[in-house]
Amino acid sequence: MLLHCWASSGWQTRAVIVIACPGQGSQTPGFLDPWLQDASAKDALARFSDEAGLDLVKHGTVSDADTIRDTAVAQPLIVAAGIVALDALRKALPADAAPFGGIAGHSVGEITAAYGAGILSDSDAMSFVSERAVAMAEAAATTPTGMSAVLGGDQDAVVAHVRSFGLEPANYNGGGQIVVAGAHDALARLADEPLKGTRVIPLQVAGAFHTSYMQSARDWLAGASRTVEPQDPTLRIWTNHDGTEVTSGTAFFDLLIGQVASPVRWDLCMDAFSAAGITGLIELAPAGALTGLARRGLKGVPTVAIKTPDDLPAALDLIAQQ
């Protein structure tokens, strides 16, 4: 499905390429190495390191998997990488390329998306994600909790089943995947007593993100981010809250704050992409997770995962083919 827009020469067909920004768990040791070959990317990452109060270059090149799994490290690292990849893609676009059809992010990737849509500057994005990461890490340390992925099964039945264990749905990822969160003993019982037809896979995360366990992080962010002045988006952007398009920068930023303690509805975002007539999806670094979900939730839509600068030509080819 293609959108049709009016130009001086009459109605024209326009492709809808959606930019997708991944969330926590997408990072892997050394994934920033290839990006540092570009001087502008290296300079940007050095500046982002100063703004985040972390050596992002070190963490993206030599730090091990356990180190970059730390919430306080992972979130700024992922947003910095996404900004660098998006800037590289935009720089590589031909002058006559059609504008992107929209942008969205999964969990912390919504901060990358807010930058891409013009809601936040890169400096505000890095400052906010640093506050978010620390607040969520501290909330996770208060009560030992974790997360597990539930694969398969009817969504409503899965949610009812996990709630019977005192667990909360945290990520509705679409394609038959829901991530649930809560106390470790409850997650262990769920693994022993899965709903028939489902599989339960424990995840290596520090806490029950996007649930009521993160209320203290949400409260902290509401106070700590008052100096940020979000702008209205210049690019269509959808929210994890319910998959709807948001046209107010202030409203989107408020949803970003609330998002830390509410479920990620990526399934509804993908539904919105379909309704908008998506013709291609490009995932920013550290890419792979969202293109994987798109293969199940957006069947038939071509995708490109920009993991390194070597993937930029494939993204440009996808744009050119639309």
Q: Which of 13, 23, 318, 7 is nearest to 171 (CA)?
A: 23
CA 147, CA 180: separation in Å to the nearest integer? 6
240 exposed, middle or buried (CB, 10 Å; 0-12, 13-18, 19+)? Answer: buried
Angle at 220 between CA 27 and CA 131, to 5 degrees: 35
241 catalytic per annotation = no
Tokens standing for residue 61: 């090149």
Which residue in the list 106, 210, 225, 262 is annotated as catalytic?
210
107 catalytic per annotation = yes
Angle at 19 between CA 224 and CA 294, to 5 degrees: 110
Contact 244, 181 (CB under 8 A): no
CA-to-CA separations, 246 to 139, 226, 233, 284, in angstroms, rounded: 28, 20, 8, 21
CA-to-CA separations, 305 to 45, 59, 97, 173, 302, in angstroms, rounded: 21, 21, 19, 17, 10
Which residue in the list 107, 127, 225, 262 is annotated as catalytic?
107
Residues forming the active site: 107, 210
